[in-house]
Chain A
């Protein structure tokens, strides 16, 4: 049972483009929504995170948009660069159960020079 659905599975954009990755969740108990970035040969690393009482959060070129009523959230990458080419995972967690993260299926982003 996949509680966090992520799309698209892969995405190719030109340098300077704005890739958008979307996620939808089912469990309304989720109260923390991070995005992780993974480069080949490395473990995932936290990129940016949001809580459900905030509709948008920006950190540098990365923005999370959050729609609580629709149970959806998305990652936007402004002015994308080839160095942003990586796999991106959305995730969600709730209090209890050691704050275990439920991950989406991942999006492989390629930014062409």
Chain B
């Protein structure tokens, strides 16, 4: 059974803290993604990676960075958390190629106070 695991279901952080969200997949997928989900806005892409150490900005990268040191692990970093980064964060992985399914983790609900 395919699996994308996010390290935390719920996180509460203070404004200005550096926050790490971790994601691990066990499917040997090349591509990994970080989305944030907000009501009425759907899923918006923050960053993605198509290979180890390779990363590309998505639609809303400001205030975020990512790290992919190993194929199975993709980390999202909030350099200095702000209240407008309170959201649900979803990690996904996907095999490279047309018509492949993106598999999502269960999400991390981050609250910045």
Contacts and interface: CB of A to CB of B under 8 A. Distances in A.
Interface in B20-54: 30-31, 33, 35, 40-45, 48-50
Contacts of A6: 42
A31 interface: yes
Interface of B: 4, 30-31, 33, 35, 40-45, 48-50, 56, 58, 90, 92, 94, 96-102, 104-107
Given A42-B106, A45-B104, A101-B33, 8 more contacts: A42-B107, A43-B105, A43-B107, A44-B90, A100-B33, A100-B48, A103-B35, A105-B41
12 contacts: A41-B106, A42-B107, A46-B101, A51-B99, A89-B42, A97-B48, A98-B33, A98-B49, A98-B96, A100-B33, A102-B45, A105-B40
